């Protein structure tokens, strides 16, 4: 394909990004600006015009879906040999590195990936074995601590703060967990990245090979990278490598899980000569929506700056509905959806977004009441379902007998008279002798008299079963192997004979897994010495396969968190709960940086809308069992007057919204306090008002004080002075 064809249909900044000489540069791509198209055409340009080798290109994405879309578009554009080019997520590419060099990475050849649920189960067991209070030292908190340290590139021995008892205990949990994973040949998601980074750091020959090979590195969604991901890219890029990053600092919304929006600016500093190309023309939304989004995000201080625009017309004004309560809010949305249907338009093009999943309950209730089909984007992923994890656990044990989490999951599934007491004996031997649970079981069976004859027989039968499943299916194709394990393990009979209605649907899901293994086996995979089964198991953990959409209703409203909407687009979008303390969240009101991330999140929500956008807030709502009065979100007052119109619950009439009216509505007329106001208390000192609840004598003010204490105070007695 010639250069003219590769550049045709692109706007000027897109053409500049696609055809730029090989160099380091940032593509600052606004929402809906065609960044995926630019990435795909850039890769095609490198291959077709610059005559770069397919093996010289690595493209990194954040989701499997994005990687697949990139491959499919490249295939349609120029036709490529996909396996020669490394295109995938950070995790899948790290896995590929570790598979090729497992010995140098100090891993067994049959290492397996630990998902977040199994990580928590393993931590629960280890915390109990350490005689720690599981409420204070919970598995979830432990997982957060460990993953956070790994994302910063820290092993237990690298953490220096031993002065604090709390910190030293967390370090001890981390080390115990790490030792257990080493014994079992398990690697969690954070470990994939850290271990592959350490491999490149500590093995000069391997590092030199990949730096020489990957002379063209492209990274999507760079604003979502964390510390270890940034360092991973830096160490891969050698002297001759040219790195192109695509990102949008205005859409960085994952700070709570380690993403560092500052990485975009670090890139410009660290990669010599890097320039910035801005993609500002939007191909998704009408102009009113973009003007509102630009106005909102301009209130953030930490940003590189860009301004979205479109050749489309202004379109409808943004509706801002002031609801009486959350019930009224839901009913207004339903009436809007009914009007949409009367216009003979599809519900599938509508989305309702909320800040937290707790807000979905009342929406679901009213949608059901009005027979409006909906699809909730928070269900259990296919590979996280109980029956699927059961079968995968048997397959994992076939590959690696020392996989403790898989062992615990199926040792008594189906029931085989191995109870908690027996399992605890196995765990005790594991703790005492630093053995895996499989090894501990074999040791326990050697010691006569420790188990009753029936229990010993059951335990021995389980060990024999796993060995037989391995030996009898080893030479089978992947799908036949999967099907044989499903039937011979007893899982099929267990679910088939169950009287529970849900278990009948589980049989269908298990059949789906067998089908998926058949489809997966039809592709070629080149991950070193991995068997097809090992490769498939890692795929189910990293790539999370395909959604099981058998029961999805096509023409249905989509319900999801604003976080979950990133990357999607809809003709009509509703964003509910636009209130101080909800959106922006109460926690974010304490820190300016977190408030800026909340504003970016609102920006992401607004830019999902193509034609119609409705923002709603309620005078009062019941959330987490309490009825609270909220003030309208500051984000509403940051939208320009001419782009919006307001509808009030008690009149049903439109009222034009202006900044002065919105600012005055933020002020509590009875106490003269407002959200964000600085106050002083004689005992607690300086603070900031973050919430107001109740009326009259019951009016309460929530204040975060300088020492980070948060207190509710009765306004009439608090004697707060305004600063």
Which residue numbers belong to the known binding site? 29-36
List 176, 223, 251, 359, catalytic entry: 251
- Check residue 573 and report its DSSP letter: E
Task: Give the number of other CB atoms < 10 A from CB of residue 369.
Answer: 11
Relative to beta strand 685-693, strand 700-705 is antiparallel
Owner of token pair 């009913």 = 331
- Active-site residue, selected from the candidate residues 14, 35, 597, 634: 35
Is 422 a known active-site residue? no
Could you tell me if 552 and 375 are in contact, meaning their C-beta atoms sit under 8 angstroms apart? yes
DSSP for 200-265? HHH-HHHHHHHHHH--EEEESSGGG--HHHHHHHHHH--SS-EEEEEE-GGG---GGGT--THHHH
Number of residues that make up the chain = 723
Strand-strand pairing, 374-376 and 216-219: unpaired
Residue with tokens 């088939």: 496
- Is 220 marked active-site? yes
Catalytic residue among 115, 220, 248, 403: 220
- Tell me if residue 608 is catalytic: yes
Alpha carbons 159 and 65: distance in angstroms, whole number = 36
The DSSP code for 660 is H
CB 192 within 8 A of CB 98: yes
Candidates 36, 169, 442, 586; catalytic one: 36
Question: CA dist 268 to 27, 122, 247, 272, 302, Å?
Answer: 11, 41, 12, 7, 15
Per the annotation, where are the binding residues for ATP? 29-36
Structure tokens at 71: 């491959």
Tokens of 302: 């930490």
- Are the C-beta atoms of residues 282 and 32 closer than 8 Å to each other? yes
> Do residues 10 and 40 touch, judged by C-beta distance below 8 A?
no
Among the options 149, 396, 608, 619, which is catalytic? 608
Over the Cα atoms of the chain, what is R_g?
Answer: 28
- List C-alpha distances in Å: 583 to 364, 588, 631: 20, 9, 11
CA angle 24, 26, 32 (to 5 degrees): 145
Residue 550 token pair: 């058998």
d(CA 112, CA 89): 18
Cis peptide upstream of residue 393 (ω within 30 degrees of 0): no
Report DSSP state, residue 699: -
Q: Are 577 and 618 in contact (CB under 8 A)?
A: yes
Cα four-point dihedral sign 572, 577, 580, 585? negative
Q: Which two tokens stand for residue 676?
A: 């964000």
650 SS3 class: coil
For residue 484 the two structure tokens come to 């044989």
Q: Which three-class secondary structure state does DSSP give residue 473?
A: helix
Nearest-angstrom CA–CA distance, 702 and 412: 50
- Annotated catalytic residue within 115, 221, 408, 580: 221
> Across the beta sheet with 710-714, what order do the strands follow?
710-714, 700-705, 685-693, 678-681, 721-722
Strand order in the sheet with 374-376: 374-376, 557-561, 350-354, 570-575, 609-618, 318-323, 644-648, 654-655
- In the block, residue with structure tokens 């027989």: 457
**Active site (annotated) includes residue 343:** no
Angle, alpha carbons 310-313-319 (nearest 5°): 100
Task: Assess contact for 332 and 323: CB atoms under 8 A.
Answer: yes
**380 annotated active-site:** no
Q: Which residues of 347-366 are buried (b: 16+ CB within 10 A; e: fewer)?
A: bbbbbbbbbeeebbebbeeb
C-alpha 403/C-alpha 286 separation (Å) is 53
Instruction: Verify whether residue 36 is a known catalytic residue.
Output: yes
List, by residue number, the catalytic residues. 35-36, 220-221, 251, 608
């Amino acid at each position: 394909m010639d250069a003219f064809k590769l550049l045709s249909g692109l706007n000027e900044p897109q053409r500049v990004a696609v055809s730029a000489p090989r160099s380091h540069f940032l593509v600052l791509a606004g929402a809906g600006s065609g960044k995926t198209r630019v990435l795909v055409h850039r890769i095609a340009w490198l291959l077709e015009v610059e005559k770069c080798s397919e093996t010289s290109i690595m493209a990194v994405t954040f989701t499997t879906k994005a990687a697949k879309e990139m491959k499919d578009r490249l295939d349609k554009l120029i036709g490529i040999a996909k396996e020669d080019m490394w295109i995938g997520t950070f995790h899948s590419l790290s896995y590929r590195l570790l598979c090729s060099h497992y010995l140098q990475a100090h891993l067994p050849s049959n290492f397996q990936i630990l998902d977040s649920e199994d990580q928590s189960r393993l931590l629960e067991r280890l915390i109990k074995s350490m005689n720690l209070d599981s409420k204070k030292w919970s598995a979830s908190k432990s997982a957060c601590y460990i993953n956070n340290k790994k994302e910063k590139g820290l092993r237990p021995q690298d953490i220096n703060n031993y002065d604090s008892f709390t910190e030293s205990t967390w370090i001890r949990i981390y080390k115990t967990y790490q030792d257990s994973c080493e014994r079992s040949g398990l690697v969690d998601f954070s470990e994939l990245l850290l271990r592959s980074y350490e491999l490149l750091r500590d093995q000069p020959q391997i590092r030199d090979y990949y730096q020489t090979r990957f002379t063209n590195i492209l990274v999507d969604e760079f604003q979502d990278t964390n510390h270890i991901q940034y360092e991973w890219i830096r160490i891969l890029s050698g002297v001759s490598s040219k790195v192109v990053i695509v990102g949008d600092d205005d859409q960085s919304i994952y700070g709570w899980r380690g993403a560092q929006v500052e990485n975009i600016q670090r890139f410009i500093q660290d990669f010599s000569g890097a320039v910035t190309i801005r993609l500002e023309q939007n191909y998704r939304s009408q102009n009113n929506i973009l003007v509102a989004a630009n106005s909102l995000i301009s209130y953030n201080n930490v940003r590189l700056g860009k301004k979205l625009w479109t050749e489309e017309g202004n379109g409808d004004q943004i509706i801002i509905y002031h609801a009486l309560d959350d019930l009224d809010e839901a009913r207004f949305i339903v009436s809007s959806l009914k009007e949409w249907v009367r216009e003979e338009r599809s519900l599938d093009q509508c989305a309702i977004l909320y800040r937290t999943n707790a807000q979905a309950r009342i929406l679901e209730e009213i949608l059901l009441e009005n027979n409006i089909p909906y699809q909730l984007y928070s269900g259990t992923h296919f590979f996280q379902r109980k029956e699927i994890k059961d079968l995968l656990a048997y397959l994992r044990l076939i590959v690696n007998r020392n996989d403790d989490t898989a062992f615990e999951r199926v040792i008594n599934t189906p029931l085989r008279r191995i109870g908690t007491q027996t399992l605890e004996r196995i765990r005790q031997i594991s703790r005492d002798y630093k053995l895996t649970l499989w090894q501990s079981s074999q040791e326990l069976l050697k010691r006569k008299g420790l188990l009753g004859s029936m229990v010993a027989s059951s335990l021995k039968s389980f060990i024999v079963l796993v060995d037989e499943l391995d030996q009898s299916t080893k030479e089978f194709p992947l799908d036949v192997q999967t099907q044989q394990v499903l039937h011979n393990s007893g899982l099929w009979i267990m679910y088939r004979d169950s009287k529970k209605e849900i278990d009948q649907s589980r049989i269908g899901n298990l059949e789906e897994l067998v089908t998926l293994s058949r489809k997966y086996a039809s592709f070629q995979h080149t991950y070193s010495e991995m068997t097809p089964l090992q490769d498939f198991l890692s795929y189910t953990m990293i790539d999370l396969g395909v959604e099981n959409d058998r029961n999805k209703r096509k023409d249905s409203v989509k319900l999801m968190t604003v976080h979950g909407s990133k990357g999607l687009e809809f003709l009509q979008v509703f964003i509910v709960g636009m209130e101080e303390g909800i959106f922006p969240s109460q926690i974010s009101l304490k820190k300016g940086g977190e408030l800026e991330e909340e504003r970016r999140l609102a920006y992401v929500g607004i830019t999902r809308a193509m034609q119609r956008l409705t923002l709603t807030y309620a005078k009062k709502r019941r959330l987490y069992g309490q009825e609270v009065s909220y003030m309208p979100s500051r984000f509403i007052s940051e939208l320009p007057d001419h782009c919006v119109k307001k509808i009030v619950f008690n009149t049903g009439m439109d009222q034009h919204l202006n900044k002065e009216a919105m600012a005055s509505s933020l002020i509590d007329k009875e106490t003269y306090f407002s959200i964000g106001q600085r106050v002083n208390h004689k005992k607690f000192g300086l603070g900031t008002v973050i919430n107001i609840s109740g009326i009259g004598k019951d009016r309460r003010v929530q204040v975060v004080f300088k020492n980070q204490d948060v207190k509710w105070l009765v306004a009439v007695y608090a004697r707060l002075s305004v600063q």
